[in-house]
Structure 1
Amino acid sequence: MSFARALLRVKPAEQLADDGSHTRLRRTLGLVPLVALSVGATLGTGIFVVLAKAAPAAGPAVVVSFVLAGVAALCSALSYAELAGSVPVSGSAYSYAYATLGELVAWICGWCLLLEYGVSVAAVAVGWGGYLNEFLQGTVGVTIPDAFAAPPGDGGVFNFPAALIVLLAVGVLLLGVRESARATTITTLIKIAVLVFFFAVAITAFRPENMTPFAPAGFTGISMGASAVFFSFIGFDAASTAGEEARNPSRDLPRAIILSLAIVTAIYVLVAFAAVGAVGAGVLGGSDASLATALRIVTGQGWSSVVLAFGAVVAISSVVLTVLYGQTRILVSMSRDGLMPGMLSKVNRRAVPAHNTVVVGTVVATLAAVVPLNQLAEATSIGTLVAFGLVNIGVLVLRRTRPELPRSFRTPLMPVVPLLGLALCGYLIFGLDAITWLTFAIWTAVGLVVYFGYGRRRSKLNHPLTASSK
């Protein structure tokens, strides 16, 4: 096989599915835990802080900004849903790219997902310490000293809370997928309950005059607001990383992806509507903790912000757990294909990839504890958008190359929806800062060195008999 053809070789959907059917991971997840997995990965810190960024640009029309961002996410979600039903294996966008666009593109996609998942978990864990301090201050009147609550570059020595929440998530994951799913479902229900509490309290103080002028900056402001809040929707694809632990993946994965996005969008719109109506867009824009500020104004009491801080602590814990889970399952797929070391796909008696989980958890906990992640965390966005874009391309390619492949879900309005999703991803990518592009370029260069130095030679597609006999 020529060098160029080797880079573009695809792994047929049937072979991916066959590999997945022989996995030692246990199929224990039904629709509810799959929805909880995606909602848990999506409904995190974003809604607790994003209004402060979006409200000044959009005004009260920030509610419309959330709707537009949800529609933009929906285009990619529909493409994810079709591929999840057609290629129901772990690996998410990496596996879909392998089945449609070839090995090199799949590697780049998987490498982007590792950046997205790993850095986002570390950054979210850093934020967990801040909310934990707020909760402790409001309940027992103590705070963790800065030396042990911030990394060296931010005036601390070691961010103990950030490392702690990652290691706790590792401990839960090592218990097994059923236990992890139960913890995810419980924490997801708690944070939904806290946001419903916010809506119920804030809506009692709704004042129509706070909604005028509705769109002071017109559609430009609404569009800017949509760009700001789009990244609050990242995570809906988490269910697609559980393709080999779902009881009925072809049926339940597409449903979980669409349902989770609908739930998250509804919560965002309702919370934004209640917050703006209660205190006005200007007040929200002047606070880094917009929801806590809104509750404090509405109730005149500090207890309400403590409740919200508790919700944020639970929300971030859930995000750390679900995203860490997703990263380990992507590594299982890459390892099984030979592109990563084999130990990363080995599972223990609990059907958990223990070596993989410990390695990932250790790396992420270290990043969270000692590295300031303010700028590095922005790389999460570009890694996510590249993966989304490749999924939109992949669904178009698979429709053309494998029209006979069974599909439990079909993206509507083909090819408009995936092309629109691709265009929106491109629009948002080119709006990112130069430092984000530089970080992404360096990460991609490192990934290509790893692929050409290790993965390409060890790919199981070089040894088809070995791969098919697994």
Structure 2
Amino acid sequence: MSGSETSPAPGSAEGRPFGVWTAAALVVGGMIGAGVFVMPAQLAPYGWTGVAGWSVAIPGAMLLAFVLSQLATARPAASGAVVIVGEALGPLPGVLVGWSYWVGICSANAIIALTAVRYGATFVPALTATPLATALGATTLIWALTALNLGGAKGAGRFQVVTTLLKLLPLFAVVLILLGLTFTDAARFSAHPHAPFDATKLTTVLTLCFFPLVGFEAASLAAERVRDPARNVLRATLYGTALTGLLYVAIGNGVVFALPAALVAGSDAPIALFVEQFWGRGAGLAIAAFASIAAIGCLNGWTLMQGEVPLGMARSGLMPPFLGRTSDRDVPTVAILLSSAFASALVLSGAIPGLTGVLTFMLQLTTAATVWLYVGACAAALALGIARPFAAVGLVFAAWVLWGSGTEALLLSIALMLTAIPLYWLRPAQIEEPV
């Protein structure tokens, strides 16, 4: 049902239910998912190159976050960063960037749902007894959170705040352990050999460090839902990115250097392993529970985003009008249902014999697909004369990360974007020209 007659006005208080802290929770919740609980295992083989990777990735993410926030500040009436790209560069680049990002969200949601189920299997082994059981559990989770988001952005936002607070608890526990080691057993951090810095591996490591940070754009993409977006989007984005970056530095480096590199690299749950080493088996199991909560909270945030991105594009004329149809609670029903159906298809395809590698393939593609949004945002800022020095540096940084994702993923992401051309042809004939 269209929300044109009964839905809250986009600019009204009811139509903008997110304050600065809810928007910040959306940022933190989007960034902190299952990735933080497996990240140390990915970086452990690289040793000191991992430290250098964080030193580049976090400032780069903050820089891109600032550019996105400045775009939202300069265009508070726009429904998100994708729409601003379309206004600045033209409808075709807007459609291509938005389509690439939307597909990236859907494929990421498939992976996040599977991760949540696999962590939950620590307590209910039947969840992963067979590939089909795993796929059905993940699909059920996708649709449970879809139902929550169909109930309205306000309820989804409240759930995001609660899950964000819950999943921060185990991360702060890790920080407390690391602080205790710093003051009582600092020698532990140098007791085990780790790989020295290797400049030839920095690009690869940068990509590994950067993608757990993806999600800082959540408040910019949902600007239409944020009260006083000119002020609150910037604050929420920078607060959320800074908090998450600091946690990742402490956890990513601390866990890697406090334990033998081979032990961390060989673990499927390195954070749980770390906590278990110092606080016992029960604490390690608790971390597994919180990891599942983290993934569920992350999935909730991205379920909201998978509807907001096509909604904003449809309302601005960048996509066909049917994707902008909303319920009486101003929920983009069609867009969310299509997105969840696509994510479910990806999950279920992993249970088909002979296609078990499709999700790994989509995960690799997601990393490249999402970066195109940052490329487009920086190019839009340059075209509009907004934060140009930051946008120029951000464009170089985004290109570096995109290159680090690998030639195959880069070429596939370009091919994926081109599939949006039919949507470009189906968009309304009247559309605002580039500014």
TM-score exceeds 0.5:
yes
* Corresponding position: 1:322 with 2:311: no
CA distance 1:314–1:169, shift in 2 (3 Å): same
* Corresponding position: 1:420 with 2:409: no
Alpha-carbon distance in 1 for matches of 2:405, 2:157: 34
Aligned to 1:95: 83
| Stretch of structure 1 that moved more, 271-280 or 20-29 | 20-29
Aligned to 1:439: 412
Residue pair 1:337, 1:460 contacting (<8 A) in 2 also: no
Aligned to 2:321: 342
Aligned to 1:390: 376
CA distance 1:232–1:79, shift in 2 (3 Å): same
| Stretch of structure 1 that moved more, 204-213 or 97-106 | 204-213
Residue pair 1:336, 1:345 contacting (<8 A) in 2 also: yes
SS in structure 2 at match of 1:320 = helix
CA distance 1:430–1:224, shift in 2 (3 Å): closer
SS in structure 1 at match of 2:196 = coil
Quick one: which of 457, 461, 464 aligns to 2:431?
Answer: 461
* Corresponding position: 1:358 with 2:323: no
Aligned to 1:68: 56
Aligned to 2:133: 149
* Corresponding position: 1:34 with 2:10: no
* Corresponding position: 1:128 with 2:116: yes
User: Aligned residue pairs: how many?
Assistant: 414
**Aligned ranges for residues 33-432 of structure 1 at < 5 Å?**
33-57=22-46, 59=47, 62-89=50-77, 91-137=79-125, 143-150=127-134, 159-205=135-181, 206-211=185-190, 216-220=196-200, 224-299=204-279, 301-371=280-350, 372-399=358-385, 411=387, 414-415=388-389, 417-432=390-405
Alpha-carbon distance in 2 for matches of 1:112, 1:223: 23
CA distance 1:90–1:43, shift in 2 (3 Å): farther
Residue pair 2:194, 2:257 contacting (<8 A) in 1 also: no
Alpha-carbon distance in 1 for matches of 2:77, 2:132: 41
SS in structure 1 at match of 2:326 = coil
Query: What TM-score, normalized by structure 1, do the two folds share?
Result: 0.81
**In the TM superposition, what is the alpha-carbon distance from 1:264 to its structure 2 partner?**
0.5
Residue pair 2:40, 2:270 contacting (<8 A) in 1 also: yes
The unaligned stretches of length 5 or more in structure 2 are 1-8, 351-357
Identical counterparts, % of pairs: 23
CA distance 1:127–1:280, shift in 2 (3 Å): same
Amino acid at match of 2:149: L
**In the TM superposition, what is the alpha-carbon distance from 1:86 to its structure 2 partner?**
1.2
Residue pair 2:306, 2:335 contacting (<8 A) in 1 also: no
Query: What TM-score, normalized by structure 2, do the two folds share?
Result: 0.88
State the Cα deviation string for residues 397-445 of structure 1 (Å, max 9, x = none): 111xxxxxxxxxx74xx41x22221111112222333431343233123
| Stretch of structure 1 that moved more, 425-434 or 197-206 | 197-206
Alpha-carbon distance in 2 for matches of 1:145, 1:82: 48
**In the TM superposition, what is the alpha-carbon distance from 1:218 to its structure 2 partner?**
4.7
**In the TM superposition, what is the alpha-carbon distance from 1:263 to its structure 2 partner?**
0.7
Alpha-carbon distance in 2 for matches of 1:183, 1:44: 15
Residue pair 1:54, 1:226 contacting (<8 A) in 2 also: no
CA distance 1:309–1:257, shift in 2 (3 Å): same
CA distance 1:428–1:346, shift in 2 (3 Å): same
Residue pair 2:100, 2:370 contacting (<8 A) in 1 also: yes
Alpha-carbon distance in 1 for matches of 2:130, 2:30: 28
Amino acid at match of 1:441: I
Alpha-carbon distance in 2 for matches of 1:383, 1:89: 26
